[in-house]
C-alpha cells in the first residue's frame, strides 16, 4: 500500500496513485477516516460521516469499476467533504446546517451538487461544520461555531481560537464554510465543497491557505441546499491546487447556465501570467473595520508588506499590472441616494421566503416556517446556550419588510449598481481581474454583483501561523479567467502546510503507513 501525505497530496496526485495501482480508493478512504479520528476532536471540522459500511461499499464498487476499465473522470474514487447544508438522504446523514432544530429533518432527495459528485465517482465521506445556518442565525456568534458542531478551529493557529472581542479575530478559521476549509487543510480529504453568500468560501479558504472559486451566482445548482438567499448564494469548491478546483468546476457547473470552455475548466490552467491583465487594490487601506476584526499592529504590517511584495513579484510577469486601483472601500454598495436598499438589505428581505421554501420541500421536518424554527430553537437548551444565546438575525427577518419596493427589485437594483462599479474599473483600467486583500470588504462587491471570485494564498502570520492572502474578482462567467490566475499564481507562490500536523504526517510516511 503506497504512502501519501494527507496534508499535501492533491486530488489529482491521488488520482495518479489510483491510476497506477499503487493505491486503492478504499486505502485512501481508510487514511482520511484515520485522520478525522485522530484530529477532529479538537478541530471540530466534521459534523457527521456516513455509516462506514456504506463508505467502504462505495469505495470497493469504484475500485472494481477501475479494475474493469471504467473510470468516470478525475474524481473517480476521490474522497470529498461537503458542507452540512447540502441534502444527503442517500448517504444516511441528516442535513442540519449546524442547528439542532433541523436534526430530525428528512430530505426527499440529494442536492443536485451531491448527485453530480456521486455520478462523477466521488466518495462523500463527511458533512462539515459551519457558522450555523450559513452565519445567518445571530449577531456576534463566532465564525465557525454551530450548536451541533461546536467551535471549528484552525489547524494552523498555534494557540487555538483566541477571543479578542471581535467575530473575526486573527486566530479565527473564518466562516461560514469553516469545516470545509479546515477539513482539507488538516488532511481529512483532498477536496471539499462549501457555499458562499458573502465571504463564506473566500474567508475560510484564505485562512486555510486553500484555493477556492465562488462561481457566478446561478451557474451551480442551489437545489437541495439550505439557503440564505438565491440573490447571492453559490456552492463552490475548495482544494489545495487550482487543478483540483478546475476539475470540481467541470463537475459542478451547469452547462445550460453558462458557456463552459472547450476542454473544460482544466483546459484554462496556465503556467504564466503573460496573457493576464491585473489591477490591484492598496493593502494599506483595504481592511476590515475594527468592529469586525480587531487590528494587530504586527499582523497588519506583515500583511501589507507581504502583499506588496507579491504585487512586486508578479508585476513584471503580467501582460498589464495597474497598482492601487481607485475603488472605494465602502463596504456597502450604495448610490448617492441613501434611500435605495443595499445588497445586505435585499438579502434580509429575501431570506425568509427562501428558507421557508426549502423547509416546505423537505419530506419530513420538525419545522416548516421561520417562526417555527425560532420557537423550536428556544425549546432546545443546547441550541441557545448561555454563551451564545443569539438568534436575532432570524428574529429580524421574521418581520422585516421593505416599503415602496419589492425585495426582488431591491436585489436587482443593488446588483446593477455593484456590477457597474466593478465593470467601470475593469474597463477604464483595461484589466481582466481585480485583486485585493482577502481580509477586507472585497467580497461585498463580488456578492452584490453576483460575480465570481477566487482566492490566492500569500503567506502566514509570524505571530500565530494563520494564513492570509488575496481575493481576485472578475466579470460574470469569468471562471476560466480565475482558473488561469490561480494556476499562474501557484507556479510562483508556494502554499503553506500546518506545521502542527506536518510532523505527524512525515513520521507516518517514514514508517511506511498511509499518511
Residues near 368 by Cβ (< 8 Å), separated by ≥ 6? 356, 359, 360, 362
Q: Report residue 215 as a C-alpha cell.
A: 462561481
Catalytic residue among 12, 101, 169, 176: 176
Question: Alpha helices of 137-201 — where are they, by DSSP H?
Answer: 178-185
As given in the structure block, the three cell numbers for residue 87 are 441534502
C-alpha cell at position 366: 420538525
Question: Annotated catalytic, 277?
Answer: no
The x, y and z cell numbers of residue 450, run together, are 453576483
| Cα(184)–Cα(164) distance, integer angstroms | 26
Q: Angle at Cα 243 formed by Cα 237 and Cα 246, nearest 5°?
A: 50
Q: Rounded to 5 degrees, what angle do the CA atoms 458, 459, 465 make?
A: 150
Q: How far apart are CA 400 and CA 226, in angstroms?
A: 20
Cα(6)–Cα(47) distance, rounded to whole angstroms? 20
Please give the order of strands across the beta sheet that includes 79-83.
46-48, 123-128, 79-83, 191-196, 234-239, 211-214, 453-460, 467-473, 433-437, 277-280, 320-322
Provide the phi-psi class of 144: left if phi over 0, else alpha when psi is between -120 and 50, else beta.
Answer: left
Instruction: Map grid coordinates 463580488 to a residue.
Output: 446
H or E segment at 280? strand 277-280
Question: For residue 247, what are the CA distances in angstroms to 173, 266, 312, 505?
Answer: 25, 6, 30, 26
Catalytic residue among 101, 180, 192, 200: 200
Cβ-Cβ contacts under 8 Å for 198 (sequence gap 6 or more): 232, 343, 344, 347, 443, 444, 447
Alpha-carbon distances, residue 126 vs 6, 83, 184, 351, 418 (angstroms): 16, 8, 12, 27, 36
> Of 3, 79, 83, 352, which one is the catalytic site residue?
83
* CB-CB contact of 135 with 165 (8 Å): no
Is 177 one of the catalytic residues?
Answer: no
- Angstrom distance (rounded) from CA 96 to CA 514: 32
Say which residues have a Cβ less than 8 Å from residue 164's Cβ, sequence separation at least 6.
170, 171, 294
Asked if residue 366 lies in contact with residue 376, where contact means CB atoms within 8 angstroms, the answer is: yes
267 is catalytic: no
What is the rounded distance in angstroms from the CA atom of residue 469 to the CA atom of residue 458?
A: 4
Residues marked active site are found at 83, 176, 200
Amino acid at each position: 500500500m503506497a504512502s501519501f501525505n494527507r496534508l499535501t497530496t492533491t486530488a489529482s496526485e491521488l488520482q495518479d496513485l489510483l491510476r497506477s495501482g499503487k493505491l486503492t480508493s478504499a486505502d485512501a478512504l481508510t487514511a482520511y477516516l484515520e485522520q478525522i479520528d485522530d484530529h477532529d476532536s479538537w478541530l471540530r471540522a466534521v459534523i457527521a460521516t456516513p455509516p462506514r459500511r456504506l463508505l467502504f461499499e462505495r469505495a470497493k464498487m469504484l475500485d472494481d469499476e477501475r479494475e474493469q476499465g471504467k473510470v468516470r473522470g478525475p474524481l473517480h474514487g476521490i474522497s470529498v467533504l461537503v458542507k452540512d447544508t447540502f441534502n444527503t438522504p442517500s448517504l444516511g446523514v441528516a442535513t442540519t446546517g449546524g442547528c439542532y432544530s433541523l436534526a430530525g429533518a428528512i430530505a426527499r432527495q440529494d442536492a443536485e451538487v451531491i448527485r453530480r459528485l456521486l455520478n462523477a465517482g466521488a466518495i462523500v465521506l463527511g458533512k462539515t461544520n459551519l457558522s450555523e445556518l450559513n452565519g445567518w442565525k445571530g449577531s456576534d456568534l463566532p465564525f465557525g461555531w454551530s450548536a451541533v458542531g461546536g467551535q471549528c478551529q484552525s489547524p494552523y493557529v498555534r494557540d487555538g481560537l483566541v477571543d479578542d472581542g471581535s467575530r473575526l479575530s486573527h486566530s479565527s478559521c473564518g466562516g461560514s464554510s469553516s469545516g470545509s476549509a479546515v477539513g482539507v487543510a488538516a488532511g481529512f480529504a483532498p477536496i471539499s465543497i462549501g457555499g458562499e453568500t458573502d465571504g463564506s468560501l473566500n474567508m475560510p479558504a484564505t485562512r486555510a491557505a486553500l484555493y477556492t472559486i465562488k462561481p457566478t451566482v446561478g451557474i451551480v445548482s442551489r437545489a437541495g441546499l439550505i439557503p440564505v438567499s438565491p440573490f447571492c448564494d453559490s456552492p463552490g469548491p475548495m482544494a489545495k491546487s487550482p487543478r483540483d478546483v478546475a476539475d470540481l468546476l467541470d463537475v459542478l457547473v451547469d452547462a445550460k447556465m453558462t458557456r463552459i470552455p472547450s476542454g473544460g475548466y482544466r483546459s484554462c490552467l496556465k503556467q504564466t501570467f503573460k496573457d493576464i491583465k491585473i489591477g490591484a487594490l492598496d493593502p494599506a487601506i483595504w481592511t476590515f473595520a475594527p468592529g469586525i476584526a480587531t487590528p494587530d499592529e504586527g499582523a497588519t504590517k506583515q500583511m501589507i508588506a507581504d502583499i506588496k511584495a507579491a504585487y512586486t513579484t508578479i508585476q513584471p510577469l503580467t501582460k498589464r499590472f495597474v497598482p492601487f486601483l481607485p475603488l472605494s472601500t465602502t463596504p456597502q454598495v450604495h448610490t448617492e441616494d441613501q434611500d435605495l436598499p443595499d445588497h445586505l438589505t435585499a438579502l434580509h428581505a429575501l431570506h425568509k421566503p427562501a428558507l421557508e421554501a426549502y423547509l416546505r420541500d423537505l419530506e419530513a421536518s420538525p419545522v416548516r416556517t421561520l417562526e417555527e424554527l425560532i420557537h423550536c430553537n428556544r425549546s432546545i437548551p443546547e441550541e441557545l446556550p448561555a454563551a451564545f444565546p443569539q438568534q436575532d438575525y432570524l428574529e429580524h427577518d421574521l418581520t422585516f419588510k421593505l416599503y415602496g419596493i419589492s425585495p426582488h427589485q431591491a436585489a436587482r437594483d443593488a446588483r446593477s449598481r455593484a456590477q457597474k462599479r466593478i465593470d467601470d474599473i475593469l474597463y477604464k483600467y483595461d484589466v481582466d481581474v481585480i485583486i485585493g486583500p482577502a481580509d477586507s470588504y472585497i467580497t461585498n462587491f463580488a456578492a452584490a454583483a453576483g460575480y465570481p471570485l477566487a482566492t490566492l494564498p500569500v503567506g502566514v502570520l509570524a505571530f500565530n501561523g494563520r494564513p492570509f492572502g488575496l481575493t481576485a474578482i472578475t466579470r460574470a462567467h469569468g471562471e476560466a479567467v480565475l482558473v488561469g490566475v490561480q494556476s499562474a499564481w501557484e507556479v510562483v507562490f508556494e502554499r503553506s502546510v500546518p506545521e502542527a500536523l506536518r510532523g505527524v504526517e512525515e513520521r507516518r510516511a517514514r514508517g511506511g503507513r498511509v499518511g
